[in-house]
Amino acid sequence: MAEYTDPHGAEEMPELSDGDDDDIEEDEEQWQWMEEDSQPVTCLFCDRLLSSVPATLQHCTAEHQVNLVDVIRKHSLDDYGYIKMINFIRSRKCDASCLTGLPDASLPWESEDFLRPVLQDDPLLQTDPEELCGIGSGVSACPLSGAGSHDALLQRAQAAEERARLSEEALSRAMEDLHKLKLLAQGLVLNAETGRSGNLGTVAELREDEDEAYFSSYGHYGIHEEMLKDKVRTESYRNFMYRNPEVFRDKVVLDVGCGTGILSMFAARSGAKKVIAVDQSEIIYQAMDIVRSNQLEDKITLIKGRIEDINLPVEKVDIIISEWMGYFLLFESMLDSVLYARDLYLADGGSVYPDLCNISLAALGDTERHQDRIAFWDDVYGFNMACMKKAVLPEAMVEVVKADTLISEPAVIQTIDCNTVCLSELEFASDFCLKITSTTDCTAVVGYFDIFFDKGCSNKVTFSTGPQVTKTHWKQTVFLLEKPISVQAGEELRGKITVRKNKKDPRSLLVTFDLRDRKQTYSLQ
């Protein structure tokens, strides 16, 4: 059969024959080659066993008055047409007459069913019809070898090339699907064995389909690129692991939300005995390749699924690492999933890293920015759109704050210890006091967080997402005041902040400020 291993073969076709001696010699060689290599062939029209394909062609012409090459030529059969014809003749046990007087428009073997071989290892099916032309009717009689057939050859080669390309694409899609199916099946089997349902909090209770948008956002590569390129973030995790190998040596580590697998690989390199990396997002398929490309597949086991839905291959782990932090620390509520994993899998004496987090606030005086966001609506191309102020105000803004617009010292409003905090403490209220450093208008409050890798570390690592230091992809979160408050240097601006989950969407937060007898609730979408 024709194999499309050389899709560019058209360029390398032998010179077309003009019937001179050299060609005859070549033909004879080809005949010999065919004879040597051949296996017995059952005739298409009777029970005779012939010694080779060429002998069969000769027999069909002599005994049954059917010249197969003529038939191929007459109906311009391509490889598939030829295969179907052979199987049609064999399956219907036609006699030679069934091949005469056939209409060109509809051949009786058009059905795809005739692609299925009737005889096992049928040598006739292993022969290219083009090759048959050369064998059976002499090169000059071959429909493909006359002068002017070069274009036809080229077209056939191009069609073959296209078919090969399509098949390759289909094959690689099928392989990919197969891989996903395998993982899915593994998940199903594991869950069927010891099914359980998370019931620790609102995010844990979310069903997979409800959370689809969240996880599909992590299926986009851009977000992972942004996180990896955030050096403050990624290098802090790396420094923590590489500079504290005693924490990781021979430990079993769980990476909750492994993404590209970067934290798992840091952990493996810093001496972990085994790393289990879990992610529900499609990015895990890349992580699988990445881990293999770095020869860490013996150390790192990747599992696709929500940490709340899967079963780990181990009962307990010594360390949980995760980069779960969202805007204003708690947006996304991924910490819920880390706490779920901690309560279920962390061995006594084990640790979650990072372990400590602070949320801080500071006062901002940025009249220009305030006007741009609020006063702007008073006159938009000559129209009053002031009603929009009430609509834009409750949306907290994620943006980089210029350090020179800070007008107070920062105040920590909450400290979270990931090894001890419980789910209910992630919703809280806190009084705060901002020590004002400039006499001006306070136009907004800025929020940000600091992260600490501390517990049991001989080399502690910390980073901040505040406005005074190198910016990160978390930027800062700005809560704009409806009306600026005039403040004096040295005074204390007191207020209260309440942070709670949005019941309608547990991954988003509602933050309320009580400041100078004014109350404003902001959402972080």
Active site residues: 323, 332
Instruction: Assess 215 for contact with ligand SAH (CB under 6 A).
Output: yes
Long-range contacts of 67-74 (CB under 8 A, 24+ apart): 67/136, 67/137, 68/44, 68/132, 68/136, 69/132, 69/133, 69/136, 69/137, 69/141, 69/142, 69/143, 70/137, 71/99, 72/129, 72/132, 72/133, 72/143, 73/133, 73/142, 73/143, 74/104
- When binding is defined by CB under 6 A, the residue of 143, 259, 326, 350 that contacts ligand SAH is 259
Q: Which C-beta is closer to ligand SAH: that of 416 or that of 436?
A: 416
Q: Which C-beta is closer to ligand SAH: that of 281 or that of 464?
A: 281
Which range of residues in 54-62, 87-95, 99-107, 305-313 is near ligand SAH by CB under 6 A? Answer: 305-313
Q: Which C-beta is closer to ligand SAH: that of 281 or that of 405?
A: 281
CB of 398 to ligand SAH, least distance (A): 16
Q: Which C-beta is closer to ligand SAH: that of 82 or that of 345?
A: 345
Instruction: Assess 304 for contact with ligand SAH (CB under 6 A).
Output: no
Q: Which C-beta is closer to ligand SAH: that of 323 or that of 355?
A: 323
Instruction: Assess 267 for contact with ligand SAH (CB under 6 A).
Output: no
Q: Is 441 exposed, middle or buried (0-12, 13-18, 19+ CB in 10 A)?
A: middle
CA 179 to chain centre: 12
Residue 431 token pair: 């009084």
Q: Is 58 exposed, middle or buried (0-12, 13-18, 19+ CB in 10 A)?
A: middle
Instruction: Assess 484 for contact with ligand SAH (CB under 6 A).
Output: no
Instruction: Assess 320 for contact with ligand SAH (CB under 6 A).
Output: no
Instruction: Assess 17 for contact with ligand SAH (CB under 6 A).
Output: no
- DSSP string for 111-156: SGGGGS-SSTT-TTTTS-HHHHHHHHSHHHH-TTSSTT-HHHHHHH
Instruction: Assess 323 for contact with ligand SAH (CB under 6 A).
Output: yes
Instruction: Assess 257 for contact with ligand SAH (CB under 6 A).
Output: yes
CB of 258 to ligand SAH, least distance (A): 5
Distance between CA atoms of residues 441 and 355, nearest Å: 37
Instruction: Assess 230 for contact with ligand SAH (CB under 6 A).
Output: no
Distance between CA atoms of residues 107 and 31, nearest Å: 30
Q: Which C-beta is closer to ligand SAH: that of 141 or that of 228?
A: 228
Which range of residues in 49-57, 66-74, 127-135, 272-280 is near ligand SAH by CB under 6 A? Answer: 272-280
Instruction: Assess 307 for contact with ligand SAH (CB under 6 A).
Output: yes
Distance between CA atoms of residues 101 and 20, nearest Å: 34
CA dihedral 6, 11, 14, 20 (to 10 degrees): 160
CB of 275 to ligand SAH, least distance (A): 12
- b or e along 361-370 (b: 16 or more beta carbons within 10 Å of the residue's beta carbon)? bbbbbbeebb
Which range of residues in 98-106, 278-286, 368-376, 507-515 is near ligand SAH by CB under 6 A? Answer: 278-286
Instruction: Assess 352 for contact with ligand SAH (CB under 6 A).
Output: no
- When binding is defined by CB under 6 A, the residue of 45, 114, 218, 353 that contacts ligand SAH is 218
Are 336 and 330 within 8 A, CB to CB?
no
Q: Nearest to residue 459, comparing CAs of 270, 239, 262?
A: 239
Cα diameter, the chain? 114
Instruction: Assess 334 for contact with ligand SAH (CB under 6 A).
Output: yes
Q: Which C-beta is closer to ligand SAH: that of 320 or that of 413?
A: 320
Residue 153 token pair: 């050859």
Which range of residues in 53-61, 260-268, 418-426, 462-470 is near ligand SAH by CB under 6 A? Answer: 260-268
Give the binding site for ligand SAH (CB under 6 A).
215, 218, 227-228, 257-260, 262-263, 278-281, 283, 306-308, 323, 334, 337
